[in-house]
Chains A and B, each alone.
Chain A
Amino acid sequence: MPQQEPLYDHNQLTSYIEAHRGEPASLIQVLSQIQQAAGYLPKPVLVEAADALGLSLTEVYGTASFYAFFIFRPRGRHGIALCNGTACYVKGAAAVKARLEQELGIKAPDTTPDRRFSLDVVRCIGCCALAPVVTVDEDVHAGVDPEKVPGILEQYK
């Protein structure tokens, strides 16, 4: 499967950066906007951001890499997040993770070669009452057990 770079609108990303030129305190805001638009943080854009905000590239990387939210490689079309909060853990999240990895043929946090799915393990998404929980994009799947995994994946082409 050929690896395709996702198309992001470079001008749009530049406009986020330019809106905060000279404001180093806005770094996280800018990074969030870039990631929201592009799906990840492309290196050339980070170079631009560092320059505009008046930070060094290492400062930008140092901050961005500190936060679990920021990612530096393009992701799949659908983002799967397995919750590994306490409630999900005691209710069997580990078995769900194993099944997800088996079905997708990848380990978290990776992306399938066809770029259909990315798999992440996250810390508590605050749906503890419905544990174990898996989110795919914006959808929350509650009370997931390993048998339900193929059916859930089937819903996302």
Chain B
Amino acid sequence: MARTRAPERTLLPSDEPLSLLRKDGSPVDDSPLAMPDDDVLVELYRRMVVGRRFDTQATSLTKQGRLAVYPSSRGQEACEVGSVLALRPTDWLFPTYRDSVALVTRGVDPAETLTLLQGGWHLGYDPYEHRVGPQCTPLATNTLHAVGFAHAARLKGEDTAALVFVGDGATSEGDTHEALNFAGVWKAPVVFLVQNNGYAISVPMSKQNAAPSLAHKGIGYGVPSVLVDGNDVAAVYAVVREAVLSGGPTLIEALTYRIEAHTNADDATRYRTSDEVAAWLDRDPVDRLETYLTSRGLLDNARRAAITAEAEEFAASVRSKMNVDVEPSPDDLFEHVYASMPRHLREQATALREELA
């Protein structure tokens, strides 16, 4: 029987999550990962601070009725920011509903990022302008889009990798497994980043998965797999960067935690304890890097104040952009269903226009 050749990169994830910074902000001495350059670290910090402020602003907008819903990624900034900054400009990002911070980190206008959640239209930004796929709501389906996209890039001779976000719950969906298998067989340049934030709405990991880790799921598909501390932005950046440059598929499980509820519509006290949340607050990704940067003399009070001010300004711009009433035109209903409007939709558009006249 012919067997497929073993890939060159190791498949098994480590027992302990890879990290570069301990939770108290001190560096890990014997990490197999390379610490990012100083300017990269400062940039990671800056983007996490801005991203967090954006996130709290978006949560406030739901309270004001400006957004229909918002899934917060507070506590997951290291995953959102570390992975996106590890991409090259030519790479693509395939995000989920939770990854608005990743989108603004990629440079998407915050108002365009929030269009989906605002209810004005399903998508506000141009995917080709930012190389960001539409935020995906049906779980795990975006994994296959990323694999197809990356495989097409390979066929066209382009050096483009695709980074796709998946939640821990979404790893149970069939599409995740089909995508890992396709990626393994095609050796497609795809990075699967599982943000394991402990819960799929209310369902904990113990009811989701029986494998030693979610990263282990890559092994059976021949996809090299990495377990990383998802609250350590330096480590996330390093592993994603290496995965992007590898030219093949990688599965990365980032261990993190969702500090807020699933969305503003969810009551997290029904399924988790305040002690648990407190323990994770103690491992905050922003504080951790801040401590490290300060100890290294890379961040002083003036720089910190400047970054905080920038974040405030960003939040203010989000507020003013979102404080306008969006009035999509009913005519839009019939647009872009097909490349050109078929007769039956022209008739329905006319009927609606007459009804509204």
The answer to whether A and B assemble together is: no
Q: Residues of A with Cβ closer than 8 Å to B?
A: none
